[in-house]
Amino acid sequence: METNSSAISLRVNGETHALTVDNRTTLLDALREHLDLTGTKKGCDHGQCGACTVLLDGRRATACLQLAAAADGRTVTTIEGMADGDRLHPVQQAFLDFDGYQCGYCTPGQICSAIGVIEEHAAGWPSAVTADVRPEAGPPPLDADEIRERMSGNLCRCGAYVSIVRAVAEAAAQVAAGREAAGGQGSGAGGTRVTA
């Protein structure tokens, strides 16, 4: 193996892949060019637009800013891994139900980011617009301002933001309801459907 290449292992959407990549290869290019997972989009390639958002060990990451070699041994979930068989992830379903897209180019990144947002909110993470950040205050309502702030790293050139906010609010409510029904952790997102 050339010294400017690395042998790495990536666990992507539940499957382990052994790859040899140039050390300069981004995770985005490894997914798209080496694994043919073209659902993850390249917009700016500079960490500005969020089109390349995936979940890396369960947390949101812009794949264009991550070297594949640095992701060796880590777990990646892309848009191709979100559905459960024929059953869409609640965020995917909400984007369909609320027309959260136009051309669809930003949509995989928006959906991955929204899934990350819902998990971060359920874990009690505040955002820059959270009024009361004391841990004992609990998660703030996931209202339109919170969603806009938390999704602000994902740009949509079609300007589908109003529908995206509605879709994320609906999906958050669905996920919270599902958790409550399962007797698990509540996210505090229930009853936060927004109409703006």
Q: How far apart are CA 40 and CA 13, in angstroms?
A: 13
19/51 with CB nearer ligand FES: 51
Site pattern 158..187 for ligand FES (x: CB under 6 A): x-x---------------------------
Q: How far apart are CA 5 and CA 69, in angstroms?
A: 9
| 3-class DSSP assignment, residue 22 | strand
| Choice from 72, 105, 124, 188 touching ligand FES (CB under 6 A) | 105
The minimum distance between CB 134 and ligand FES, in angstroms, equals 32
Q: How far is CA 134 from CA 138, 145, 153, in A?
A: 7, 19, 24
The minimum distance between CB 41 and ligand FES, in angstroms, equals 7
Q: How far apart are CA 79 and CA 55, in angstroms?
A: 9
Q: Does 103 bind ligand FES (CB under 6 A)?
A: yes
**Can you list the alpha helix ranges (DSSP code H) found in the chain?**
27-29, 90-97, 107-122, 144-150, 161-181
The minimum distance between CB 186 and ligand FES, in angstroms, equals 31
58/104 with CB nearer ligand FES: 104
156/165 with CB nearer ligand FES: 156
Q: Does 108 bind ligand FES (CB under 6 A)?
A: no
Which residues, numbered 19-78, are part of the site for ligand FES (CB under 6 A)? 42-45, 47-52, 62, 64
The minimum distance between CB 187 and ligand FES, in angstroms, equals 26
Of residues 189, 111, 195, the one with CA closest to residue 151: 111
Q: Tell the residue number behind the tokens 């790293």, with chain if given.
A: 153
Of residues 45, 15, 4, the one with CA closest to residue 27: 45
Of residues 115, 140, 139, the one with CA closest to residue 56: 115
The minimum distance between CB 154 and ligand FES, in angstroms, equals 9
46/87 with CB nearer ligand FES: 46
Which residues, numbered 113-152, are part of the site for ligand FES (CB under 6 A)? none
Of residues 149, 147, 156, the one with CA closest to residue 194: 147
Q: List residues near ligand FES by CB under 6 A.
A: 42-45, 47-52, 62, 64, 101-107, 156-158, 160
